[in-house]
Amino acid sequence: MVEKGKFDLKKLLDMFPRISEKPLGKPNLSGIEAEFKTLASGEEEFSIKHFEILKDVNHRYWRFLDWWSIPDLDEKDIDKLKTYFNFPRPDTETMVKGVCRISKNIEVCSCLLRFVDPIKYGILSPPVENLLNIIGKTNSEK
């Protein structure tokens, strides 16, 4: 039983696939995780390919571009992102601040981090921020 005034989002985790199917197009997050596996393990360097996987224009995994947009990145931006996603990885605060600075928003940043390390990170979006009452002056504070 949930205490009055308390909400435990984790208790709804089993409902996520059914609830999210209509607006997200039956997301297959484990499919994206599989695509990121070599980056997550350090066997592969970060590249523009990882943004292409996130965009998923063929909707194999989800409808990312229906909800978020990825800024145009040049080679310099990709090289900076490599320093965050390649081993050894910096501490969480440095990583979040750096990836947010380059990706221009917390949603894209959190998506990248979530697929690089699904145990440590989750996807942050405005509905989740509102539901959990997340407050921060900057993206990285959130």
- Range 126-134 average pLDDT: 79
Residue 20 counted as domain residue:
yes
Using the predicted structure, report yes or no on whether residue 92 has a pLDDT greater than 70.
yes
In a domain, 137, yes or no: no
Domain membership of residue 32 (yes or no) is: yes
CB neighbours (10 Å) of residue 115?
Answer: 22
Domain that holds residue 124: 15-132
The tally of domains found in the chain comes to: 1
Question: Mean pLDDT, to the nearest integer, of 88-117?
Answer: 93
Query: Residues 2-51: pLDDT tens digits?
Result: 566 677 777 777 776 677 666 656 778 899 999 999 999 999 999 999 99
> Is 6 part of a structural domain of the chain?
no
Of the chain, the end-to-end C-alpha distance in Å amounts to: 28
Does residue 44 form part of some domain? yes
